[in-house]
């Protein structure tokens, strides 16, 4: 059996990480000698590795069944955790279960149970009720962003999961905010709290505010988007219908953007994040669903089109920017008589907008969809070869490539994407005929 330290070292090498952050080292050190740990650290600080590495050290290759269960509040976060664990290239199987696709697919994967199971509370609870896997084999339980799960109303599902996993002896809870109390049903007795929330990046966040004329903020939002230019921007609303309404109005003004919220089908949400990551869109209109736990790049600007309803929401929204020692800006869009909430204690810098601002240039990239992925034995090298040899593209014309199970997405120079698509319409990769189209 490999030494636990060797497993960690090899995993970090596969991830391309040379050294751990202080928070991650503290988590490993603390979980080695304590069974109940709460890890508090800002969004984007590396909490995922902060609990995956301690889990890895606890896994027993000789034991069958699910050994570690990771509960997260969203589908996207579950998939992100699964992808990170896969990238560690261990010999342990991992699966992510969540709503939005058929239970049948998940049940088939349970014919050989994963060692590490990741999922949303509702879907994991449903599997336990149907006894699709043996919950009593679980020894380690992680509640990632546990406060968000409680905020979203998953108390009953989480309570049920904890009741049905009586052999859990190690718990790790994570959050990007401090909670005043931990509900008793979580059965977190005398936890060790690792608090890394006082991040240095907080001082690099600059708070600004703009005043709209009257109660209509839309024109002010458009002018603000013009002002920040082509920098990556998240525009937050409090409700899904507001996201959709604003998106329709921005389309009329030819503002290039995409939308993301819980009312969209899973594959649409997934594509929105892919295109935002690869730079096909620089502006994403969203709800608080995008405020944490998503695999998206460092954001330059946060725009609170609708002001957050709580301090936690405000903190998590702003946590998407000013990360990893980068500078970031947070903008409050205020109606004429709209007060700033009491929980926003900083004094914002009031700025003026210029109505003559021109629209930002379209993003450099556009995304091509390819109807083949990992399950078809297609990889990034195959895709690059096809695009360079038959698509008439140069290396500099290609951006981020993401290969999923049954599809792939490639960022291509916007000025050449359509021509490349037309040249590649009837193409084969590894003898498989694939459909190639502009991703909608």
Dump pLDDT digits (tens) for 32-77.
999 999 999 887 778 999 999 999 999 999 999 999 999 999 988 9
Cβ atoms of 303 and 217 within 8 Å: the answer is no
The C-alpha atoms of residue 60 and residue 2 are separated, in whole angstroms, by 11
178: left (phi over 0), alpha (psi -120 to 50) or beta: beta
pLDDT at 295: 72
What are the structural domains of the chain? Answer: 4-195 (3.40.50.300), 200-350 (3.40.50.300), 365-438 (3.30.70.330)
pLDDT at 199: 52
pLDDT at 98: 93
pLDDT tens digits along 404-428: 889 999 999 999 999 999 999 889 9
Mean confidence (pLDDT) of the chain: 90
Q: What are phi and psi of 250, to 5 degrees?
A: -70, -35
Supply angle C-alpha 338, 344, 346, rounded to 5.
110
Burial of 325 (0-12, 13-18, 19+ CB in 10 A): exposed
Cβ atoms of 282 and 258 within 8 Å: the answer is no
The C-alpha atoms of residue 161 and residue 70 are separated, in whole angstroms, by 11
The C-alpha atoms of residue 435 and residue 12 are separated, in whole angstroms, by 36
pLDDT tens digits along 65-122: 999 999 999 988 999 999 999 999 999 999 999 987 789 989 999 999 999 999 999 9
pLDDT tens digits along 211-244: 998 778 998 999 999 988 888 999 999 999 999 9
pLDDT at 203: 53
The C-alpha atoms of residue 265 and residue 39 are separated, in whole angstroms, by 32
- Going by C-alpha positions, the residue among 322, 246, 332 that lies closest to residue 283 is 246
Average pLDDT estimate for 156-177: 95
pLDDT tens digits along 193-205: 999 887 544 457 8
| Residue spans of beta strands (DSSP E) within 46-146 | 68-71, 94-97, 116-119, 140-143
The C-alpha atoms of residue 292 and residue 234 are separated, in whole angstroms, by 12
Average pLDDT estimate for 138-142: 97
Pairwise pLDDT comparison (2 vs 26), residue with the higher score: 26
The C-alpha atoms of residue 203 and residue 318 are separated, in whole angstroms, by 12
The C-alpha atoms of residue 75 and residue 260 are separated, in whole angstroms, by 13
3-state secondary structure of 436: strand
pLDDT at 202: 45
- Packing angle, helices 121-129 and 155-163, rounded to 10: 40
The DSSP letter of residue 360 is P
pLDDT tens digits along 344-360: 988 999 998 876 667 88
At 44, list the tokens.
């984007």
Burial of 121 (0-12, 13-18, 19+ CB in 10 A): buried
pLDDT tens digits along 290-327: 887 677 777 899 999 999 999 888 988 888 786 555 67
At 374, list the tokens.
């990992």
Cβ atoms of 145 and 77 within 8 Å: the answer is yes
What percent of the chain clears pLDDT 70, i.e. is strictly above it? Answer: 95
Please state the pTM of the whole predicted model. Answer: 0.74
Residue 329, pLDDT > 90, answer: yes
The C-alpha atoms of residue 272 and residue 288 are separated, in whole angstroms, by 15
Pairwise pLDDT comparison (11 vs 356), residue with the higher score: 11
Query: CA 342 → CA 176, 291, 316, 339, distances in Å?
Result: 21, 20, 17, 9
Spatial neighbors of 329 by CB under 8 A, at least 6 apart, are: 205, 206, 207, 208, 228, 300, 301, 302, 321
pLDDT at 344: 93
pLDDT at 162: 96
What residues form DSSP beta bridges with 300?
Answer: none
Supply angle C-alpha 30, 37, 190, rounded to 5.
110
């Amino acid at each position: 059996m490999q030494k636990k330290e060797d497993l960690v070292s090899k995993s970090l090498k596969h991830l391309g990480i040379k050294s751990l952050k202080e928070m991650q080292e503290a988590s490993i050190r603390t979980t080695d000698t304590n069974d109940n740990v709460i890890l508090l650290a800002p969004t984007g600080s590396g909490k995922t590795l902060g609990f995956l590495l301690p889990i890895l050290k606890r896994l027993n290759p000789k034991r069958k069944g699910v050994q570690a269960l990771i509960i997260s509040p969203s589908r996207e976060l579950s998939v992100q955790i699964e992808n990170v664990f896969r990238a560690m290239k261990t010999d342990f199987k991992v699966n992510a279960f969540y709503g939005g696709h058929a239970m049948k697919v998940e049940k088939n994967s349970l014919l050989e149970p994963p060692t590490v199971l990741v999922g949303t509370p509702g879907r994991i609870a449903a599997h336990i009720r149907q006894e699709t896997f043996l919950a009593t084999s679980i020894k380690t339980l992680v509640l990632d962003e546990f406060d968000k799960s409680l905020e979203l109303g998953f108390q009953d599902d989480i309570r049920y999961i904890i009741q049905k996993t009586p052999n859990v002896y190690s718990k790790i809870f994570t959050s990007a905010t401090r909670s005043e109390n931990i509900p008793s049903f979580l059965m977190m007795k005398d936890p060790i709290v690792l608090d890394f929330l006082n991040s240095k990046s907080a001082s690099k966040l600059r708070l600004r505010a703009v005043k709209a004329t009257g109660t209509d903020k839309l024109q002010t939002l458009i002018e603000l988007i013009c002002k920040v230019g082509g920098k990556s921007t998240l525009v937050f609303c409090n409700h899904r219908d507001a996201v959709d309404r604003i998106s329709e109005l921005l389309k009329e003004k030819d503002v290039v953007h995409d939308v993301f919220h819980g009312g969209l089908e899973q594959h649409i949400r997934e594509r929105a994040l892919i295109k935002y990551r690869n730079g096909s869109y620089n502006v994403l209109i969203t709800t608080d669903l995008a405020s944490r736990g998503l695999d998206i790049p460092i954001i330059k600007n946060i725009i609170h089109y609708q002001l957050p309803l709580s301090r936690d929401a405000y903190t998590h929204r702003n946590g998407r920017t000013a990360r990893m020692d980068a500078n970031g800006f947070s903008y409050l869009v205020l109606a004429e008589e709209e007060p700033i909430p009491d929980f926003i204690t900083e004094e914002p810098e009031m700025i003026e907008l210029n109505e003559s601002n021109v629209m930002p240039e379209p993003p450099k990239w556009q995304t091509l969809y390819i109807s083949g992925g990992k399950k078809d034995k297609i990889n990034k090298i195959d895709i690059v070869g096809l695009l360079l040899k038959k698509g008439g593209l140069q290396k500099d014309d290609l951006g981020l490539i993401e290969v999923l199970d049954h599809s792939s997405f490639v960022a291509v120079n916007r000025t050449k994407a359509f021509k490349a698509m037309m040249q590649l319409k009837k193409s084969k990769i590894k003898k498989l005929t694939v459909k190639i189209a502009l991703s909608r």
